[in-house]
Amino acid sequence: MMELLRLLVLGMALWATTAVADTNLDIPFPYNCSTKTTCSSLRLKLPNENEEFNAQLVNSSANNNSTLLFDLTNKRGNKLALSISAIEGKRFRVIVEEHDEHRYKLEHSLEKEPNLVKLTIVETSNISVTAQTESGSKIIVKTTPLSIEFYQDNALTSIFEGNRIIFEDTEESEAFTFSVQFPNANRLMGLHEHADNLKLRHTADFSIDPYRLRNTDYGTTEYSLNTTKSMYGSIPVIYGFGNKTSSGIFHHNAAEQWIDINNNRHSAYFMVDGGRLDLFVLLGPSLPETVRQYVDLTGKPHLPQLWALGYHQCRWAYNTTGDVMDTIGNFDTYDFPLDVLWLDIEYTSERKWFTWNASSFPDPVKLLNWVDAQGHRKLVPISDPHIKIDPAYKVYNDLLNGGWFVNNSDGLSPFVGECWPGNSSWVDYLNPEARDYYAQLHLYENFPSTSALGGYWNDMNEPTLFDNLYERTFPFDLVHHGGVKHRDVHNIYGMLQTMSTHKGLMTRDNGTLRPFILSRAYFAGSQRYANKWSGDNWGDFEDLRYSVPMALTSNLVGLPFYGADIPGFFGTATEELLVRWYQIGIWLPFFRAHAAQGSPRREPFRFGNKTQAILRKNMQLRYKHLPYWYTLFYENTVTGDPILRPLLYQYPEDPVGYDLDDEFLIGTDILTTSVYESNATSVRIYFPGQSDKWVLINGNSTHLYNGGTWANIPIDITFTPAFYRAGSIIPRKPRVLRSTADIKNDPLELHIVLDDHQKAKGRLYSDDFESFKYQNEKEYLYYSLAYDDATSTLTSSPIDTDNSPGNLTVQIDRVVIYTSDNADQMTVRKVEIDNTGKKLNTINFINSSIKL
């Protein structure tokens, strides 16, 4: 996390030797492939006749005729069992393990066990077995040697390559390998989280390390860029994008893994430290379908409360009640919108979570009531999984007495390591009793607070410990509940913390408020509980640049609510960079500023009037687009579709956009980019879609650009260009006040951008912005909107038929119509609506129209 304090801890270590005898902070880390045997030895193993497996079909009627079972044997006499199941929604599941099934079976990542569908053998021969489903999915299992070809609608999507299977099965190692090829792909994407470009790089020539997935804290420094090194989160998903068909895989396994990417043949070779080979094969055939096939397995997020989409102000740290009140007060004095102020580790008593520092936060409930009175704003405190060893700390005693800490390799004594509070033990979230205990700590009676404590920030949950000997995280031989080795569950530890925190918040508020949890560690499925930021970045243009592909990849792998610390956690961003970072920050789903300890204060109101004016205008642009964001967030909860989209997702037929990951779409209708260098006077941007047109919304003029062209957009420091797609209707809030709460009931302003046919379409979702009624009682409004300029008619029609509007309404006060009079310019005309009786969900407007 944070440099200065760590140096302090190190400084203390020099004289307080007993407390830190087991720390090794000088050892460089993270380790690389050459220093980890799973990678260094397995990477060199090429296909070898003695190792490759032959397959023999042993059962074709398992699981109601959904599963084919094969015995695998090789010349060395190794024996394995292979099962291939057909899953609804154009997917297969491939499991390889020893016959006695002794390997750890991962839990909690899948939202539910997927439904199987019938898989019928259509042909068998000496060398292959062919089977297919009723939805056009087909496998050809080649038996000597094994390989599995996957087809959708008779197009080959991927090949599970049996000649690279190695299974180690000894006391020391349960490592294994496998390889998948995407023969029709042009590029591979995925393997979140890496500070790298959208397109996965070629690693198979050994010039760089394989992509590594092992949740890891970088610790004293910012994370590295342009690298395959592991980061805080792991989502083992790869998409093979092709200009005709796309497909993907999800490796359902939470152990450390290294993945060599070969971009010449579009294949991925996995080297995995333990657990089962449990591979979901996603047959597409489009990229959007492939993404949905993945997200459907691990689940969609629930909607965030509206305030979570507002602006978040963080630093390490707002140390006192006075600092919190002054800071929030200044946001109002200087007229900046703000929804959340964050509390870093200093609010506690001695870094004991679920305690307040009695001298700096003497009356937290009074403070929270005050925060609530300032526009229903929120505080969000940090809360980590390590627990200070202190016999006077009730939480510690309860966990110790319950047997709810992670144990040493003896399986009996709690592991002790060093983190923020000094010597600590770690909650064993694999244990359901420990999760329940931890959950109830969030109740108002157990941690004095109110619902103005809007959620929690689960940090250091890779988990981090201050000991480089183990790459600042747990040794692999620690033992969890049920005798599970840490090695097998490492990457899911942080997710289990957020699962427990989520339950705590659901219980705290009787299920009436949607929990908000920010997590640094992440695994496939975490999106059901938490959102994420990219961790400890640095204040320079390069970090700003990489935050965009990181957010795009994250959105493609089911984790839409992602952002990076503005304007870089470490370092002191120049004022120019800070401005640029806010200008891109408003277009990332999670919009938070943060600052390391000791960095100069840099809240927006601390700058000169000119910079303030720029920041204010840009932050307001975020708030004005809240109805558009909220609609996209809702749609993501239903479909799993990403909120931020790389061009190739939306325009797969347009090759110019394939490798562009510095510009991106928000939904389908807003295009933006960032300014990635100092003193820029223009930004070069590509406009996707031969038949689309794009209008500049925040520059000097509403210039119109044709799809399929590049343009240099002149800029100054006041704005980073953003564009609306012609033919869209963007719902906006016309005014911005203190917070989202202040404007949530305001009428809307629709921005209608006419296409060449003088028409436009959009969608609008609305609900109570905070509860689960939208899920439980289907109480929400969801309309498609259409405008036809020939008749000046705006029409709305409900998209769903089974929702109930309750007493919800939205009102449209004004439309802003963008018309193109000449080739490269649009004129903007405002029309005030006499909205008496014309609210959406009033009898006059449902499924009907108004004449403007």
Ligand X SMILES: *[C@@H]1O[C@H](CO)[C@@H](O)[C@H](O)[C@H]1NC(C)=O
Q: Which residues bind ligand X (CB under 6 A)?
A: 28, 32, 34-35, 59, 61-65, 184, 186, 208-209, 226, 242-243, 317, 319, 346, 509-510, 512, 609, 655, 678-679, 699-700, 714-716, 807
**In the complex, minimum distance from the CB of residue 834 to ligand X, in angstroms, rounded to a whole number:** 21
Of the candidates 573, 584, 531, 578, the one whose C-alpha atom is nearest the C-alpha of residue 554 is: 531
Minimum CB distance to ligand X smaller for 5 or for 484? 5
**In the complex, minimum distance from the CB of residue 706 to ligand X, in angstroms, rounded to a whole number:** 19
Minimum CB distance to ligand X smaller for 157 or for 425? 157
Lookup result for tokens 């800071």: 327
Minimum CB distance to ligand X smaller for 615 or for 715? 715
Task: Detail the DSSP E strand segments found in 317-442.
Answer: 340-343, 378-381, 386-388, 417-419, 422-426
Task: Count Cβ neighbours within 10 Å for each residue of 719-736 and write b for 16 or more, e otherwise.
Answer: bbbbbbbbbbbbbbbeeb
Minimum CB distance to ligand X smaller for 339 or for 346? 346
Output the six-digit token pair for 447: 């941690």
Contact 310, 623 (CB under 8 A): yes
Cα–Cα distances (Å) from 321 to 92, 313, 317, 324, 630, in that order, read 55, 15, 11, 5, 32
Residue 182 CA to residue 268 CA, distance in Å, equals 9
DSSP-based helix, strand, coil % in the chain, nearest 5: 25, 30, 45
The dihedral built from the CA positions of residue 437, 376, 579 and 563, taken in this order, carries a sign that is positive
Cα–Cα distances (Å) from 157 to 151, 199, 285, 658, in that order, read 5, 18, 8, 19
Minimum CB distance to ligand X smaller for 28 or for 77? 28
Minimum CB distance to ligand X smaller for 168 or for 576? 576
Q: What angle do CA 89, 95, 98 make, to 5 degrees?
A: 165
**In the complex, minimum distance from the CB of residue 757 to ligand X, in angstroms, rounded to a whole number:** 28
Return the active site residues: 459, 536
**In the complex, minimum distance from the CB of residue 203 to ligand X, in angstroms, rounded to a whole number:** 9
Instruction: Provide the CB-side half-sphere exposure for 141 (13 A, CA).
Output: 30
**In the complex, minimum distance from the CB of residue 242 to ligand X, in angstroms, rounded to a whole number:** 6
**In the complex, minimum distance from the CB of residue 507 to ligand X, in angstroms, rounded to a whole number:** 9
Cα–Cα distances (Å) from 721 to 107, 314, 577, 642, in that order, read 45, 26, 16, 22
Task: Count Cβ neighbours within 10 Å for each residue of 25-61 and write b for 16 or more, e otherwise.
Answer: beeebbbbbeebebbeebbeeeeeeebbbbbebeebe
**In the complex, minimum distance from the CB of residue 610 to ligand X, in angstroms, rounded to a whole number:** 8
Lookup result for tokens 């119509």: 817
C-beta atoms surrounding 568 within 10 Å: 28
Output the six-digit token pair for 75: 């010349």
DSSP summary character for residue 804: B
